[in-house]
């Protein structure tokens, strides 16, 4: 049975004291409530060790927002899989649209990073999604197909079952626009179908696919109710404790 997940991507937000306050609030909430899903956060890398000190694994699992292609060496500012493993991080985001847009991330690089993460026992959350122009021109299925196949289809069946996929239509990230629950379901079912064609339905049914793109407390339950939507990768709403916990409650 595939995992239900609510993951918060904090991006480049919060001072250290603000981050500590938010993490403590989330820890307190998790200790008092039994969630119907797994809860992940991806704080700025500067705060990863603080997060590991605050959370136990069963409360909230800690992810990096990015990981290097390289295992060590003269790569200023990079974070390696060994570094993440050494602090007992659970995993890392890979291929987020903002990394693609601003830092030249490619599907081929994502493939290498996914393999590095899996080799170290880290969970990769692989992000894909189309731009507004690609959707309007009817290219969105081909874009998703290419992204999925290049980044993931060299994995073994056992490996791909450990990957979490986050479908994030670029046009809905931080814009206030949200794919309708039906649009989200359509793409999630398409991605699962691609995996089934390659690896078989049994494997595809074990892969968690999250939706990301302006998920809020008032739309989370409807989006998460779709059969192929296994949770969300949450941006702005993960920075407010009331909003984030309300989204977590959508699985109760």
DSSP states along 151-218: HHTTS-HHHHTT-EEEE--GGGSSSS----HHHHHHHHHHHHHHHHHHH-HHHHTT--EEE-SS--TT
User: Strand 231-234 to strand 5-9: parallel, antiparallel, or no bridges (unpaired)?
Assistant: parallel
Q: Which residues are catalytic?
A: 96, 168
The CA distance from 30 to 22, in Å, is: 12
What is the bridge-based pairing of β-strands 209-211 and 91-94? unpaired
Cα dihedral 236, 237, 238, 239 sign:
positive
> Is 171 assigned to a binding site?
no
10 labeled binding residue: yes
Flag whether 236 is marked binding: yes
Annotated binding-site ranges for substrate: 9-11, 174, 214, 235-236
Annotated binding-site ranges: 9-11, 174, 214, 235-236
């Amino acid at each position: 049975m595939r995992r239900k997940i609510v993951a918060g991507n904090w991006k480049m937000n919060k001072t250290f004291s603000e981050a500590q306050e938010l993490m403590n609030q989330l820890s307190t909430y998790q200790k008092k409530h039994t969630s119907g899903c797994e809860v992940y956060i991806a704080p700025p890398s500067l705060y990863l060790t603080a997060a590991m000190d605050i959370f136990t694994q069963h409360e909230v699992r800690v992810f990096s927002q990015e990981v290097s292609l390289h295992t060590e060496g003269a790569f200023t500012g990079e974070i390696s899989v060994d570094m993440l493993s050494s602090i007992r991080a659970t995993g890392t985001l890979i291929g987020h649209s903002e990394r693609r847009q601003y830092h030249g991330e490619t599907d081929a690089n994502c493939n290498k990073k996914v393999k590095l993460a899996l080799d170290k026992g880290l969970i990769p959350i692989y992000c894909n999604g189309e731009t507004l122009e690609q959707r309007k021109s009817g290219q969105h299925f081909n874009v998703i197909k290419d992204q999925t196949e290049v980044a993931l289809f060299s994995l073994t069946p056992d490996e791909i079952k450990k990957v979490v996929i986050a479908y994030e239509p670029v046009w809905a990230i931080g814009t206030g626009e949200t794919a309708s629950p039906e649009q989200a379901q359509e793409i999630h079912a398409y991605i699962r179908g691609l995996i089934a064609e390659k690896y078989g339905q049994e494997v595809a049914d074990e892969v968690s696919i999250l939706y990301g793109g302006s998920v809020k407390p008032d739309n989370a339950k409807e989006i998460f109710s779709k059969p192929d939507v296994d949770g969300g990768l949450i941006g702005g709403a993960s920075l407010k404790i009331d909003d984030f916990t309300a989204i977590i409650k959508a699985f109760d």
